[in-house]
Amino acid sequence: MLSWVDGRPAQAASLTDRGLAYGDGLFETIGIKGGQPQLFDRHLARLAEGCQRLSIPADLALIRAELLAFAAEVGEGVAKLMLTRGDGLRGYAAPASATARRILLASPFPAYAAANAEQGVRLFPCATRLAEQPLLAGLKHLNRLEQVLARGEWRDSDHAEGLMLDVSGRVIEGVFSNLFIVRDGQLITPELDRCGVAGVMRAELLAQAKTLAIPLSIQPLSLEQLLAADEVFVCNSLYGVWPVTALQGHRWPVGPLTRKLQSIARDLLDC
């Protein structure tokens, strides 16, 4: 497995890294095709926002250059960038001299079933709830224990993704995806001001919807609203869009707006 630490090939990182000790950092999972990172500017924009909000000092120009060089070496696959606050002594307080650490790992593209995109997926109703923390809402920070617990709730192959609610019972996202519904021609996605990850494919589809003048709303979403939807789909930056066809005993058809946005996502990831 190809791996770099701070711009150089390496197979290990420091045991005193704050990312390891506290999850003190951010990450991006970036598809690579033809040696080029996909949705690159959106990934970098989210990373920059995360660094600003967590006060992690990072050289974003250097990160961009390293990612481009790493992608050229990978060719085809997935690059995972972990940006930590760097080394620190015992205790939560970050040392004034902390220097951000850049860890890059390469892996093959996930072998998702073609039926997920073509026929749609069933959502598993996860019992694990997302905690509400506005200071971290939207960020792709390194602490993913809620998702680890949620993904451990099912082992069968009938469910390709899980549905996650917050502690107040609002619909937020999938375990590794964002969620949209369509109701009376309007595209709706949950507000992520209390928890959840603001995905780059989510951001791209919101921008595309505005360009195409598709009625759009970002709002709190209840389970009742989800069940009453005309169409449901999930998305992320590796597979694009998967229609959602079932949650327990409830069923949805694969609708025209889902297919339209799926086609747009596919074109974005193929370029």
pLDDT digits (tens, 9 = 90+) for 32-77: 999 999 999 999 999 999 999 999 999 999 999 999 999 999 999 9
Domains, the chain, ranges and CATH? 3-107 (3.30.470.10), 114-270 (3.20.10.10)
Interval 174-183 mean pLDDT: 98
Q: Is residue 271 scored above 80 in pLDDT?
A: no
Any catalytic annotation for residue 173?
yes
For the question of residue 76 being annotated catalytic, the response is: no
Q: Which of 66, 84, 140, 231 is catalytic?
A: 140
Active-site choice (161, 173, 204, 231): 173
**DSSP character for 36?**
E
**Mean predicted lDDT score pLDDT of the chain:** 96
Report residue 147: phi and psi, to 5°: -70, -35
Q: For helices 200-211 and 256-270, what crossing angle results, to 10°? A: 120
pLDDT of residue 136: 97
Predicted confidence (pLDDT) at residue 270 exceeds the cutoff of 90: no
Q: Which of 28, 29, 161, 258 is catalytic?
A: 29
Give yes or no: 84 in active site.
Answer: no
The pairs formed by 220-227 with CB atoms below 8 angstroms and a separation of 24 or more are 220/170, 220/190, 220/191, 221/170, 221/171, 221/181, 221/188, 221/189, 221/190, 221/191, 222/169, 222/170, 222/171, 223/165, 223/169, 223/171, 225/171, 225/181, 225/183, 225/188, 226/171, 226/181
Q: Are 270 and 238 in contact (CB under 8 A)?
A: no
- pTM (2 d.p.): 0.95
